[in-house]
Amino acid sequence: MKNAAALSGHPPTAAPAVGVGSRSRRAGRAAGPEVGRRAAPQPASAASTDLSTRDRVTQLLLAQGATTAGQLGSALGLSPAAIRRHLDAMLADGDVLAREQTVRGSRGRGRPAKVFLLTDAARVRCGTHHYDNMATAALRWIARNGGPDAVEAFAADQVAALEARCRAAMEDAGDDPLARSEALAGALTAEGYAANASTIASGGQLCQHHCPVAHVAAEFPQLCEAETAVISRLVGTHVQRLATIAHGDGVCTTHIPTQPRAQSGNTVTTVRTDR
C-alpha cells in the first residue's frame, strides 16, 4: 500500500544547497543562451499528467474501495470538474464502474450520491489476484491424485462450454472449413481470444493473439490440446496446431487444410515450427 505522500503525487524535495542557484545562473550566463535553454526543465505533457492522476485514482480506489467523486477529489487535491473528467475517462475505458451509494438508516432528500469502484479487470492489472497460481496449483493436485487422464478430462470439461457457445455463433457458417474458420474467429474474438482467420496456399490459418490460460497451459499442455480438438470439431476437419503462446510463440496458430479428412481417431496434430 502506498503512503499518503505517494498517493498525492508530490514527493518531498530536498532544500537546495546555499549558493547553488546563484552559481548555476552565473554559469548559464557565462556559457551563453544556448546552454541556459538546454538546462531549462521541460513541462510534462498533458497525457502523462492524466495517466499519473489516473494511477493515483486507481491506487486510492484500491485502498478505500467504493468512494465518491468528492472524496476522491479532496484526497487528491483536485477540483470537482477535474476529478469528474478523470472518472469519465476511466468509466469509458472500463477501469471503474459507478453505483448509488448505500445509505443505512434514514437519509435526506434527493438521490444518493454515486460511488466509484474498480472493475475486476482493473484489479487484475493492479496485481491483486493470483488466479493463474491457484489454477496451476489445482491442476497439480489433480495430476497427483488422478493422474494424466484426470487432467485431460478436466481440460475437456473446461472447453466444453466454450465449444457450445462458439457452435451456436457459427450456425449460419455453412459446411466449408475455411468459411467456418472465419466464423469461429469471430466467435473466439467475442470470447476474448482476439482471433482472426486468413486463407493461405495450403488452406486456412486461424490465429489467436490472446490466450486467457497461457501461464497455466505452459505447464499443462492438455489445455491447448483440448482447445485444438474443439477447433477441429467446430471447423469440421483435421487441423494442425503450429504454435502456441503457452510455449513462447507470439500467436496461437492453427492450420486448417483445404479439404476435410475423415475424422476417425485423432483429428488434431501439433507441429512445432520453432525447433
Percent of the chain with pLDDT strictly greater than 90? 44
Tens of pLDDT, residue by residue over 50-59, are 668 888 998 8
Q: Which of 24-28, 198-202, 246-250 has the lowest mean pLDDT?
A: 24-28
C-alpha to C-alpha distance for 247 and 226, rounded to whole angstroms: 15
What phi and psi, each to the nearest 5 degrees, are found at residue 99? Answer: -150, 165
pTM: 0.54
Percent of the chain predicted with pLDDT > 70: 69
Q: In the chain, which segments carry CATH 1.10.10.10?
A: 47-101+113-126
Q: What is the mean pLDDT of the chain?
A: 78
Domain 47-101+113-126, CATH among 1.20.20.10, 3.20.20.70, 1.10.10.10, 2.20.25.10:
1.10.10.10
Instruction: Report pLDDT digits (tens) over 167-176.
Output: 999 999 998 8
Q: Is pLDDT of 162 > 60? A: yes
Q: Which three cell numbers stand for residue 251?
A: 500467436
Lowest mean pLDDT among 153-162, 177-186, 243-252: 243-252
CB 236 within 8 A of CB 180: yes
Hunting for cell 482476439 — which residue is that?
194
Q: What is the pLDDT of residues 102-155, one digit of tens each?
A: 655 555 565 667 899 888 788 777 765 567 788 999 999 999 999 999 999 999
List the strands of the sheet with 268-270, edge to edge: 195-200, 203-208, 252-257, 239-243, 268-270
Query: What's the rounded mean pLDDT across residues 235-257?
Result: 91
Dihedral sign for Cα 189, 194, 199, 205, please.
negative
CB atoms within 10 A of CB 83: 23
Q: 257 pairs with which residues across the strands?
A: 203
Largest CA distance in the chain: 87
- pLDDT tens by residue, 34-87: 444 444 444 555 566 666 888 899 888 887 788 899 999 999 999 999 999 999
C-alpha torsion 44→50→51→56, nearest 10: 110
